[in-house]
Amino acid sequence: MIEASCHCGAVRLAIDAAPETVTDCNCSICRRYGVLWAYYSPKQVRFVPLEPATDSYMWDDRSIAFHRCRTCGCVTHWAAVDPARDRMGVNARLMPLEVLAQARVRRLDGAVTEDYIDD
Ligand SMILES: [Zn+2]
């Protein structure tokens, strides 16, 4: 298990496993956030506290919500609005340095082709 935390510690995540890969996406929102996404099933991620103090942002088809800490502003994760969708993204930049250092960074062309462009 690994832990991730926003800068002030108000939002903490306990995650079943370290990511093997993280995604650097160039879509309109990810490139502005500057995040690295680690994808999980929501079943693999627990929030501490259970109801984290985040604000969220949605746009376009409003299918996913991007969450940020209400206190320090760090983008923490995105969550699908549809609870049946078994996928969420955790901002791997909130993980310990040594965990992030072990992960392979993959580049996703989310802006245009939706394909990975690193191999
Ligand atoms: Zn915070």
Q: pLDDT tens, 54-106? A: 999 999 889 999 999 999 999 999 999 998 999 999 999 999 999 999 999 99
Q: Does residue 119 have a pLDDT over 80?
A: no
Helix (H, G, I), strand (E, B) or coil at 101: helix
Residue 60, Ramachandran bin (φ over 0: left; ψ between -120 and 50: alpha; else beta): left
Q: pLDDT tens, 88-97? A: 999 999 999 9
Which backbone phi and psi does 89 adopt, to 5 degrees? -120, 130
Q: Does residue 42 have a pLDDT over 80?
A: yes
Q: Tell how far the Cα of 76 is from the centroid of ligand 1, in angstroms.
A: 9
Q: Tell how far the Cα of 92 is from the centroid of ligand 1, in angstroms.
A: 15
- Neighbouring CB atoms inside 10 A of 8's CB total 13
Q: CA 23, CA 37: separation in Å to the nearest integer?
A: 5
What domains lie within the chain, and their CATH numbers?
Answer: 2-19+36-99 (2.170.150.70)
Q: Tell how far the Cα of 110 is from the centroid of ligand 1, in angstroms.
A: 27
Would you state the pLDDT for residue 118?
A: 84
Point out which residues pair with 56 in neighbouring strands. 67
Q: Tell how far the Cα of 20 is from the centroid of ligand 1, in angstroms.
A: 25
